[in-house]
Amino acid sequence: MLQNLLSNAIKYGRGRPIEVRVGADASRAWLSVKDQGMGIPPEGRARLFQRFERLASERHYGGLGLGLWIVKQIVDAMEGRILVESVPGQGSTFTVELPRHPA
């Protein structure tokens, strides 16, 4: 998950700094990756986690459109959720939240 989120932040982040945060409380753990790149238009966010979905031109950015779909499958299998906050032209933040189970 982390590798894909970081890879996307680097690929679409326009060479600007990337912020990674991790945290936990009694019931959940989370990881967020924030870039300062192109951002995602609101109409594209609903399609982000679909298989083979490409919001940016393949000519400019390589890839098959499977990365975020795979991340979503893993998060779902772990009973978590993935959140996206984005402003076109300013960047995106992807946050993965996973439940913590007692040992």
76 versus 12: the higher-pLDDT residue is: 76
Structure tokens at 24: 């936990």
Q: How many domains would you assign to the chain? A: 1
| DSSP percent split of the chain into helix, strand, coil, nearest 5 | 25, 30, 45
The answer to whether the beta carbons of residues 28 and 99 sit under 8 Å apart is yes
Q: Mark out the alpha helices in the chain (DSSP H runs).
A: 2-12, 42-45, 67-77
Residues whose CB is less than 8 angstroms from the CB of residue 19 and which lie 6 or more positions away in sequence, other chains included: 32, 33, 34
pLDDT greater than 70 at residue 88: yes
The answer to whether the beta carbons of residues 41 and 90 sit under 8 Å apart is no
**CATH number of the domain bearing residue 80:** 3.30.565.10
Range of the domain at 52: 2-99
Q: What is the pLDDT of residues 14-68, one digit of tens each?
A: 899 999 999 999 999 999 999 999 999 888 888 888 887 766 544 455 566 788 9
